[in-house]
């Protein structure tokens, strides 16, 4: 491969890692700062992608409409797509948080597995909603007129980076506010006497909604990068598990860790893809499973031996230094 | 409709085997085992290996019992596979969960570890057997018996209900009569007091995982006999299992049994109105309704 | 002969020490009480002796052997039993099953011991197949003590046995403590109800702020005006 090809490849790698970093940042608010277990990232991933896709594409017309059905098509700009994705994900987060956030952590975990599975089934089976298992194609790419199509990834890398940095800064600011301190107190079960059960519920809810909205943005970024989406992408393995591994590897409760974890794990994941190419032919069909197995064993090792991840939690890092 | 309810009881009996184990583990170890569904998958596939691989190699005849779809091979494979899954379940606890418990890890870490274990088990199954749908006896015609009210039921399904019924009776006798069973109930009540009384709670925990795993394995095999085998079969049962556990009151073994039957019936009856693929979603909706109306479960006793 | 002794015991929760250099002893056939104001570390002391808390310093000796830092299920095999203050019964088990759990590690026939416990607490035998969850505080306390006796311990630790009991039951529980002691069990009891406890005690220790501040015979402590004023509420 000549040098240009390698660079192009690295750019595509960085775009995906950047999108995953957005998810990891969203998860970090919920899990890292508040101690909420969201096992349904794939659901928010899916909804974010579909909502943005439908906001930014026009309603199919003519012959095309016979083959592609979708609930709505607004043909609006990319930015509106991102915001719409965030909004709808926030609403779903509220609906799932309402029955579960008063109960033990596990209930949210179980319920989020359920919502992700349910959403995937709905998108898969209801053709009128978003074209069923065939999904949506030809999603618009923002600023595509700036360069030739084959160089478009550079533009998209800039877009993903900008979104990621904006979200990063927003979370950093919010988490250092009194609001963020309350969240951490909730994670550690250190409620101050002034807090009622209602307050705790409300703070958990805000954290769940905030994080899920960011995941919605991540889903939208993914949709406009691949230009085509279908329900089979948003499985628990690909849509949820990898992002958890990223956050745990980088360092839960640390935004830098979330970003670093996303990049490191995505590179390991891609490397594993290369390595499994060397497997004998008989095993090749099962290579994805072997890759997932490796990633999961990596996760379990991290959980037991280095639960603070690569970067550790910020507070603890400073403590180790003095 | 009556037929759907009967099929619901069959499916519910399988779910109940899973949710009983889930509730035992939750009651004693205070741990939501997200890997429980995949333990069922493991049981089904270990039995597949024993029935189609090992039995043939040992020369056990491949005959069937009367009008059932299986014979000696399955009769031998069933208990052996249960023991194997019990072993897997205990190993997962020793290797993955116990170190975290000892460090008093945050619940987030515990939950993550269990989800990881679920995928590890499933990936091993997929690596060894692939993602195709499998049957214990491909292409066997399954004659149905006609019951009153136009209900058709296969002999396999009647036996399945008998097996679940006997396993539940055995578990009841174990918990009520045996020393270890009583110690398990005591530990579920109050682990610290159990230790103070001299009960070796680590041994109790091992038994709990073992029994939970064995029942899950049994459930997986029965599902494989009734429907088919697939790498995702257990994960699809995870939501109804959790719903059944919550419905019956967490830690309540008999509640989990009733909860399992209710979930099975709800899922089967829903197919009259919805696509069958929506079954996990039905379980999810029922679970949300329980959480909204009565989060402690219908039989209370639940520790939240 | 000393059956239980602590030397310079240090213990606590989290990052704070609660007990500082506590040295106490219990001799054969004695009743020894540990009294003091709320938060003095009395319960912490018992929990540390019984291995529920890991000591940070000092030594615990039981019947001449060191048991410092052993887990409760090991210590209970060495002849000492413990009755916690709260949550001291298995509520979903019957009375009989609660007592059987006390004898969990026994492999011999403990039918005689069960009879003995039922003789001590006749009320329990009448209702032996009842679930414990529904019973009253006094009955639960009897079950808890009965459970602790099932292993024929040489030493019994009681954490506030009269707490949250109706006054009429307090006297009954103290009588039972004397009865148990008469069967040859040395008893160390932590109590809020200091005066009543000291009356039945051979000796007593006063704990304050996690330190041993006074020790004497039960009678002498009761008569000591200064200790009375400072620690026994006037």
A3 falls within a domain: no
| Residue A39: CATH number of its domain | 1.10.3470
Contact at CB, B123 and A290, closer than 8 angstroms: yes
Q: Residue B68 pLDDT more than 90? A: no
Residue A264 lies in a domain: yes
The pLDDT assigned to C233 comes to 65
Of all residues in chain A, the percent with pLDDT exceeding 70 is: 95
Q: For a pLDDT cut of 70, what percent of chain B falls above it?
A: 97
The rounded distance, in Å, linking the Cα atoms of A185 and A187 is 5
Could you give the number of structural domains in chain A?
A: 1
- Name which residue leads in pLDDT, C231 or B155: B155
- Model confidence at A319: pLDDT above 90: no
Confidence (pLDDT) at B300: 63
pLDDT band with cut points at 50, 70 and 90 for residue B142: low
**Where does the pLDDT of residue B141 fall: very low under 50, low under 70, confident under 90, or very high at 90 and above?**
low
* pLDDT given at position A149: 79
Quick check: A233 pLDDT over 90?
no
**Domain presence at residue A5:** no
B132-136, B186-190, B236-240: least confident range: B132-136
Tally of residues, chain A: 322
The distance of B59 to chain A (nearest Cα, Å) reads 28
Domain ranges of chain C: 2-231
Backbone torsion region of residue A188, taken as left when φ is above 0, otherwise alpha when ψ lies between -120 and 50, otherwise beta: alpha
Considering only residues 49 to 108 of chain C, which have any Cβ-Cβ distance to chain B shorter than 8 Å?
50, 52, 71-73, 76-77, 81-82, 84, 87-93, 97-98, 100-102, 104-105
B91 touches chain A (CB under 8 A): no
pLDDT value, residue A321: 34
Q: What is the pLDDT of residues A5-46, one digit of tens each?
A: 888 889 999 999 999 999 999 999 999 999 999 999 999 999
Question: Do the chains contact at C93 and B185, CB–CB below 8 Å?
Answer: yes
Q: Give me the residue from C52, C73, C87 closest to B190, CB to CB.
A: C87
A3 has a pLDDT exceeding 70: yes
Selecting from A110, A124, A296 the residue whose C-beta is nearest the C-beta of B119 gives: A296
What local confidence, expressed as pLDDT, does residue B97 receive? 95
Does the CB of A71 have a partner CB in chain B at under 8 Å? no
pLDDT above 80 for B60: no
Contacts of B188 in chain C (CB under 8 A): 92
Residue C77 has its nearest CB partner, among B185, B193, B198, at B198
B111 at interface of A, judged by CB pairs closer than 8 A? yes
pLDDT at B302: 43
Select from C112, C80, C77, C117 the least CA-distant residue to C95.
C117
Verify whether the Cβ–Cβ distance C88 to B189 is below 8 Å: no
pLDDT recorded at residue A173: 93
- B281 CA: distance to closest CA in chain A (Å): 5
- Flag whether A4 is in a domain: no
Mutation for B interface: A24, A31, A35, A37, most B CBs within 10 A = A37
Question: B127 and A111 in contact by Cβ < 8 A?
Answer: no
Q: Grade residue A322 by pLDDT with cuts at 50, 70 and 90.
A: very low
ipTM of the complex: 0.91
Contacts of B277 in chain A (CB under 8 A): 121, 124-125
* Closest residue on chain A to B128 (Cα): A286
Contact C52 B192 (CB under 8 A): yes
In this predicted structure, the answer to whether residue A315 has a pLDDT above a threshold of 60 is no
Percent of chain A with pLDDT over 90: 55
Does A297 sit within 8 Å of B108, measured CB to CB? no
Q: Contacts of residue A235 in chain B, CB cutoff 8 Å?
A: none
Touching C (3+ Cβ pairs <8 A), the chains are B
Average pLDDT over residues A186-210: 83
Q: Kindly list the partner chains of chain A, i.e. chains with 3 or more CB atom pairs below 8 Å.
A: B
- pLDDT the model gives residue A318: 35
| pLDDT higher than threshold 90 for residue B88 | yes
CB pairs under 8 A between A and B: 122
Position B139 scores a pLDDT of 67
Residue A137 forms part of a structural domain: yes
| Mean pLDDT, range A156-169, rounded to an integer | 95
Has residue A1 been placed in a domain?
no
- Report residue A197's pLDDT band, with 50, 70 and 90 as the boundaries: confident
Question: How many angstroms from the chain centroid is the CA of residue C54?
Answer: 18
User: Within 13 Å of residue A104, how many CA atoms lie on the same side as its CB?
Assistant: 17
Which of residues 3 through 62 in chain B touch A, CB cutoff 8 A?
32, 34
B166 and B99 Cβ atoms separated by less than 8 Å: no
What CA–CA distance (Å, rounded) separates A191 from A181? 11
Query: Which residue range is the domain that position A112 belongs to?
Result: 11-321
Task: Please check the confidence at residue A320 and state whether its pLDDT lies above 50.
Answer: no
Work out the pLDDT band at B17, boundaries 50, 70, 90.
very high
Q: What is the pLDDT of residues B197-240, one digit of tens each?
A: 999 999 999 999 999 999 999 999 999 999 999 999 999 999 99
Q: Is the pLDDT of residue B161 over 50?
A: yes
Q: Which residues of chain C are under the pLDDT cut of 70?
A: 233-234
Task: Please indicate, yes or no, if residue A194 is contained in any of the structural domains.
Answer: yes
Please say if the pLDDT value at position B304 is more than 60.
no
Query: Do C72 and B196 count as a contact with CB atoms less than 8 A apart?
Result: yes
**3-state SS record for chain C:** CEEEEEEEEEEEECCEEEEEEEEEEEECCCEEEEECCCCCCHHHHHHHHCCCCCCCEEEEEECCEECCCCCHHHHHHHCEEEECCCCCCCCCCEHHHHHHHHCCCCCCCCHHHHHHHHHHCHHHHHCCCCEHHHCCHHHHHHHHHHHHHCCCCCEEEEECCCCCCCHHHHHHHHHHHHHHHHCCCEEEEECCCHHHHHHHCCEEEEEECCEEEEEEEHHHHHHCHHHHHHHCCC
Per-residue pLDDT tens digits for A248-288 = 999 888 999 999 999 999 998 888 888 877 878 777 788 88
pLDDT reading at A206 higher than 90: yes
Confidence of residue A314 (pLDDT cuts 50, 70, 90): low
Which one of A109, A111, A118 has the shortest CB-CB distance to B111?
A109
- The whole-angstrom distance between C76's CA and the closest CA on chain B is 6
CATH number of C2-231: 3.40.50.300
Q: Which subunits count as partners of chain B given 3+ CB pairs below 8 Å?
A: A, C
In the predicted structure, residue B136 carries a pLDDT above the cut 60: yes
């Amino acid at each position: 491969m000549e040098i240009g090809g390698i660079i192009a490849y690295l750019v595509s790698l960085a775009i995906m890692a950047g999108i995953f970093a957005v998810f990891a940042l969203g998860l970090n608010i919920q899990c890292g700062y508040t101690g909420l277990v969201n096992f349904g990232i794939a659901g928010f991933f899916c909804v974010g992608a579909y909502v943005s896709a439908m906001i930014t594409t026009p309603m199919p017309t003519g012959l095309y409409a016979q083959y592609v059905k979708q609930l709505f098509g607004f043909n609006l700009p990319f930015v509106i797509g991102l915001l719409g994705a965030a909004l709808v994900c926030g609403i779903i987060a509220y609906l799932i948080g309402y029955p579960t956030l008063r109960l033990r952590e596990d209930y949210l975990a179980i319920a989020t597995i359920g919502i992700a599975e349910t959403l995937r089934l709905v998108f898969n089976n209801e053709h009128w909603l978003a074209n069923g298992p065939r999904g949506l194609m030809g999603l618009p790419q923002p600023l595509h007129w700036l360069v030739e199509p084959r160089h478009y990834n550079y533009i998209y890398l800039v877009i993903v980076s900008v979104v990621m940095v904006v979200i990063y800064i927003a979370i950093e600011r919010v988490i250092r506010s009194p609001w963020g301190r309350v969240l951490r107190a909730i994670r550690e079960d250190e409620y101050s006497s002034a807090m009622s059960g209602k307050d705790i519920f409300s703070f958990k809810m805000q954290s769940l909604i905030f994080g899920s909205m960011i995941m919605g943005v991540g889903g939208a970024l993914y949709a406009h990068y691949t230009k085509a989406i279908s329900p089979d992408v948003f499985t628990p393995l690909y849509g949820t598990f990898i992002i958890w591994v990223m956050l745990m590897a980088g360092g839960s409760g640390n935004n830098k860790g979330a970003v670093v974890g996303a990049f490191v794990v995505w590179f390991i994941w891609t490397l594993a893809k290369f390595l499994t190419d060397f497997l004998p032919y008989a095993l090749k069909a099962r290579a994805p499973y072997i890759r997932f197995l490796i990633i999961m064993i990596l996760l379990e090792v991290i959980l037991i031996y280095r639960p603070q991840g690569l970067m550790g939690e910020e507070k603890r890092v400073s403590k180790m230094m003095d | 409709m009556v037929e759907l309810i009967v099929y619901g009881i069959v499916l519910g009996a399988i779910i109940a085997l899973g949710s009983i184990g889930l509730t035992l583990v939750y009651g004693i170890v205070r741990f939501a085992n997200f890997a429980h569904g995949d333990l069922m998958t493991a049981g089904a596939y270990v039995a597949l290996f024993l029935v189609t691989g090992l039995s043939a190699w040992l020369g056990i005849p491949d005959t069937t019992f009367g009008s059932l779809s299986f014979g000696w091979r399955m009769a031998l494979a069933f208990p052996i596979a249960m023991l194997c899954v019990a072993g897997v379940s205990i190993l997962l606890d020793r290797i993955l969960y116990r170190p975290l418990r000892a460090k008093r890890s945050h619940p987030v870490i515990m939950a993550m570890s269990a989800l990881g274990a679920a995928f590890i088990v499933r990936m091993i199954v997929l690596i060894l057997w692939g993602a195709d749908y499998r049957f214990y006896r491909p292409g066997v015609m399954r004659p149905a018996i006609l019951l009153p009210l136009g209900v058709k039921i296969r002999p396999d399904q009647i036996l399945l209900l008998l097996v679940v019924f006997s396993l539940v009776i055995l578990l009841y006798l174990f918990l009520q009569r045996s020393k270890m069973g009583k110690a398990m109930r005591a530990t579920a009540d109050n682990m610290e007091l159990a230790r103070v009384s001299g009960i070796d709670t680590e041994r109790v925990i091992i038994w709990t995982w073992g029994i939970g795993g064995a029942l899950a394995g049994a459930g997986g095999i029965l599902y494989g006999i009734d429907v088919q085998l697939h790498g995702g079969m257990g994960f699809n049962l995870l939501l109804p299992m959790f719903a059944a556990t919550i419905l019956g009151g967490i830690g309540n073994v008999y509640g989990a049994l009733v909860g399992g039957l209710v979930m099975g019936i709800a899922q089967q009856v829903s197919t009259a109105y919805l696509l069958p693929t929506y079954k996990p979603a039905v379980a999810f909706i029922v679970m949300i309704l329980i959480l909204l109306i009565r989060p402690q479960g219908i039989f209370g006793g639940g520790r939240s | 002969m000393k059956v239980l002794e602590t030397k310079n015991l240090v213990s606590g929760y989290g990052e704070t020490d609660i007990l500082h250099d506590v040295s106490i002893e219990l001799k054969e056939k004695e009743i020894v009480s540990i009294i003091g104001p709320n938060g003095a570390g009395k319960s912490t002391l018992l929990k540390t002796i019984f291995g529920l808390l890991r000591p940070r310093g000092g030594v615990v000796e039981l019947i001449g052997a060191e048991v410092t830092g052993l887990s409760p299920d090991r210590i209970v095999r060495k002849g000492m039993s413990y009755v916690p203050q709260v949550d001291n019964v298995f509520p979903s088990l019957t009375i009989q099953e609660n007592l059987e759990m006390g004898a969990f590690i026994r492999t011999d026939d403990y039918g005689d011991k069960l009879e003995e416990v039922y003789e001590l607490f006749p009320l329990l035998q009448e209702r032996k197949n009842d679930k414990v969850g529904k019973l009253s505080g006094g009955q639960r306390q009897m079950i808890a003590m009965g459970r602790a006796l099932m292993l024929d311990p040489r030493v019994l630790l009681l954490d506030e046995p009269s707490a949250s009991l109706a006054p009429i039951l307090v006297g009954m529980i103290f009588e039972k403590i004397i009865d148990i002691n008469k069967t040859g069990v040395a008893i160390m009891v932590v109590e809020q109800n200091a005066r009543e406890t000291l009356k039945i005690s051979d000796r007593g220790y006063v704990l304050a702020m996690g330190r041993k501040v006074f020790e004497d015979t039960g009678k002498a402590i009761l008569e000591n005006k200064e200790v009375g004023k400072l620690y026994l509420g006037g």
